[in-house]
A = this chain, B = another copy of it.
Amino acid sequence: MTIRYPNGKVYRQPSHSKSTPSKFANVNFGDRGMSLEEELNDSNTYYLENDIAVIHKKPTPIQIVKVDYPSRSAAVIREAYFKHASTTDYNGVYRGRYLDFEAKETKSKTAFPLKNFHDHQIEHMRQCLKQDGICFVIIRFATLGRLFLLKATDLFTYWDHQVDGGRKSIPLPDIEQLAAELKYHINPLIPYLEAVDNLIDG
C-alpha cells in the first residue's frame, strides 16, 4: 500500500534515510507504485538536498481562460486548457553543465515506441546540443522493471530513420547496447547522474 502525505507526495520508509545500512543495497525499490515522474522528482530532491545537482521538472503549461477572484480567498482558475510543452520536462545544472532530458515509460517488453516523444521535444534537444548542453532521455520498460538512460544523439538516429519510413520503435536489444542501464538504488532512488558522468567525461 502506498502511503501519501496530505500534499500527495509518497511517504518513504525511514529505512530510506541517509543512514540506511548497506544490506538494503540490493533491494529493488523500483516497484512501489511510484510513477517514473515521482521517482525522478524524489531522486532530484535527494540531489538538491545534498548539493549534488539542481534539476527540476517544469510545470505543465496551461492556457488560462477564466479566473475568479473571490473576496478574502485565493484566485481560482475556472477555465483553462493543457498546452503542448515547447521543451522537455526536466532541466537544470550539474557540475557546471546544463542538463536537459525527457522521461517516458512503456508497457512493451520488446521495444520502446518512438511515439512517446514529440517533434518539439526532439527539436528542443537538438537546439540544446548546439549550445553544448547534455541531453538524454530516461526510458522505463514498466513491465520489465528496467530503466535506461539513452543519449539524445542515439535517440535522433532512430527518430530520423522513422521519419524516413523506418521502424517506429527502438528494439530493446539496441537499447541494451547503446544506453546505460540504471539500477534502482536507495538515495537517490534513480542514480542517473552516474550515467551522466560518463556522458560528460566519456
Contact = CB atoms under 8 A, between A and B. Distances in A.
A97 interface: yes
Contacts of A100: 93
Interface in A48-104: 48, 51, 53-54, 56, 58-62, 74-82, 85-87, 91-98, 100
A127 to B, nearest CB: 5
Nearest to A75: B82
Contacts of A59: 58-62, 85
A20 B74 CA distance: 46
Interface in A95-144: 95-98, 100, 124, 127-128, 130-133
Nearest to A87: B56
A91 B80 CA distance: 25
A109 to B, nearest CB: 30
A87 B48 CA distance: 12
Contacts of A128: 54, 93
Contacts of A77: 62, 77, 79-82
Interface of A: 48, 51, 53-54, 56, 58-62, 74-82, 85-87, 91-98, 100, 124, 127-128, 130-133
Given A62-B62, A93-B98, 11 more contacts: A48-B127, A54-B133, A59-B61, A77-B79, A77-B81, A77-B82, A91-B92, A92-B131, A93-B132, A94-B131, A96-B97
